[in-house]
Structure 1
Amino acid sequence: MGILRMGYIHTRVTDLAEAKNHYANTLGLYETHAEDGKVWYKGWDEWDHHSVVLEEGGVGVVKYGFKVQYLEDIDRIEKKAQDFGAKTERFSAGEVAEVGDGLRVYPPSGHVFEIYHEMTSWGLEVGTHNPEAFPRHLVGVGVPGLDHSLLTCEDVGLMEKFLAEVFDFYTAEKVMSSLDDDADTLGVWMTPSNSIHQLAVIGGPQGKLHHFAFQLDDWAEVLRAADLFTMDDVSKDVGPTRHGITRGKTVYFFDPAGNRNEVFAGGYMAYPDRPCIIWTADQLGKGIFYHDRELNERFTTVLT
């Protein structure tokens, strides 16, 4: 199968104490380890050691981790990345905390992707034998886990090609400059699975982060999250609202360092043989914010 999912995001924050309050007390992630200006977190419904790593000293994404189904998938992706022309390097177990032997890939977007098969198992908070529906003592929003991320790069079409040819992702939805045959690709929402997107890519500076998102179950949980953000004086960007693209329900907000987060619920089941949904640039406002049908300036300019 190859890539199972985006397993983790590693980001920088300006003040670790403030960031810990945001991610642990407002979002409700569980701390699994801390050392040397870094902290590792997981959601209550995630079973691997971590899905979020915070590192003090700046803002923006350091790297992404992608988990593969089989150990030999690492070899396969390495060859495909090299054939594509991307730089690769191996890393050994322990070099990345709680992660086994893996592969570091440098895609054309200017980001860093780590491919791995093994991560220390932490276990579900509700267990695996006759479990309850959720932990009784959730904190804050109580997000179950990491959902997806949106990054920027100069050549969206090239990055789409890389994710398709090297990672076996497929494009569920995309934004084109027009419906003409020679139209430019402005954004893509891609996945290796039935989730509507694991990575989205839009045009912009190389190596930048637009946002990373946490999953919620439904619209009611999105509304509750927005209430908690108000209680905790979290800086909100947009929402609660709905996307046209993906049909997801959403609130965008910022961590104390200025990295954009999202809580996301809904969407639809994606399949490789489902027709790709095409949006045109003149309808992008409706595609991103279905109700207001326009983008705010922060959403298009604030990157970390």
Structure 2
Amino acid sequence: MPDRILRLQHVEVRVPDLELCAAYYTEVLGLIETARDVRDGAERVFLKCWDEQEHHSVVLRQAPTYGLDHMSFKVAEAADLDHFTTKLETAGVAVKRYAARELGPGWGEAIRFDAPSGHLVELVHGMERVGNMLPMTNPPPRPQDLVGIAPPRLDHVFVMAEDVEAFTAFFTGLLEFRLTEQILANDGHQLATFLERSHTPHDVAVITGPNGGLHHFAFWMDDWNGIREAADTLAYHGVQIDVAPTRHGVTRGYTTYFFDPVGNRNELFTGGYWVDPDFEPITWTEEEMGRAIFYYHREVNERFFTVHS
């Protein structure tokens, strides 16, 4: 099967205080502002990580509440939008199509539809390429004028759904994602699943919780030292750290969780493993869920399963 969906393209999140969050994401997290606009009466700020070539990977939208507006995945070819439109509509899913730049600056041609969990999902092709701050000939390893933590790229999004199995079937059956890991309850139903298209442990994951919920979105760091140093920066700036640097059992990755100023949970992530197309999914049992999520602490509390407030 060809790789039609390549990776997570961007997330758009709601923020009640746009200027405070824009300052946090640019000055503390170290993302780069690429544009602003007003859509449907709400101002938006467009951001990218330094090593991303395309126009944006995070969009902040002024709104009364915080949370996820939509998640967007990049497709390889324009024809892939037709492919998925046919599959979705055949399955009875309503699809809406948008021309390039119709949704905002830098945007490519896109389709949008709702997952069974109520999340708005987008597939996009042809985002404007703005470069990664490095020359294409004889580049240094990284720019010299980066600010804050400066993760090189967006990595994954982790959402919540009342029916994890329906969400997983939708993404694997219609959108052609591959299941890498799952946490199963004692009665056999899925408590959490981890799905990929980019040969990483996960591009999107889902855990039991309220429909439409955002658990977190994550940025990639190059190594474990980057995670530890980022936690120092977060603490220095008074950012609320949810989980101090530690390790996951699921994905084998290293992590720290924290909150933006209005309540959206962020993660810095590194490690993991390469996923081949014939990768066999890994299963964690309900008794080992604590170790699956936080391998060292071996436990999770109720707060982990709720949207932050």
Q: TM-score, normalised by structure 1?
A: 0.96
Q: Check whether the contact 1:237–1:254 (CA below 8 A) recurs between aligned residues.
A: yes
1:103 is aligned to 2:111? yes
1:215 is aligned to 2:220? yes
Q: Which runs of 5+ in 2 are unaligned?
A: none
Q: Check whether the contact 2:209–2:306 (CA below 8 A) recurs between aligned residues.
A: no
For 2:19, which of 10, 14, 17 is the aligned residue?
Answer: 17
> SS of the counterpart of 1:299?
helix
Question: Aligned residues, how many?
Answer: 301
For 2:172, which of 148, 164, 171 is the aligned residue?
Answer: 164
Aligned match of 1:27: 29
Aligned match of 1:270: 275
Aligned match of 1:229: 234
For 2:81, which of 69, 74, 78 is the aligned residue?
Answer: 74
> SS of the counterpart of 2:144?
coil
Aligned match of 2:149: 141
> How far apart, CA to CA, are the structure 2 residues paired with 1:232 and 1:134?
24
User: Is the alpha carbon distance of 1:303 and 1:82 closer, same or farther for their aligned partners in structure 2, counting shifts above 3 Å?
Assistant: farther
Q: Check whether the contact 1:84–1:162 (CA below 8 A) recurs between aligned residues.
A: no
Q: TM-score, normalised by structure 2?
A: 0.95
> How far apart, CA to CA, are the structure 2 residues paired with 1:277 and 1:99?
36
**Deviating runs (4+, > 6 A) in structure 1?**
none
Greater displacement, 97-106 / 236-245: 97-106
Aligned match of 2:7: 5
The structural deviation recorded for 1:303 is 4.4
For 1:184, which of 175, 182, 189 is the aligned residue?
Answer: 189
Q: Check whether the contact 2:214–2:307 (CA below 8 A) recurs between aligned residues.
A: no
For 2:55, which of 40, 49, 52 is the aligned residue?
Answer: 49
Q: Structure 1, residues 34-67: CA drift from partner, whole Å, max 9, x if none? A: 1332100000100000000001112000111111
Q: Which runs of 5+ in 1 are unaligned?
A: none
Greater displacement, 17-26 / 207-216: 17-26
Q: Check whether the contact 1:80–1:165 (CA below 8 A) recurs between aligned residues.
A: no
Same amino acid, percent of matched pairs = 42
For 1:257, which of 230, 239, 262 is the aligned residue?
Answer: 262
> How far apart, CA to CA, are the structure 2 residues paired with 1:100 and 1:267?
30
Q: Which amino acid aligns with 2:168?
A: E
Q: Which amino acid aligns with 2:233?
A: L
> SS of the counterpart of 2:250?
coil
Q: Which amino acid aligns with 1:199?
A: V
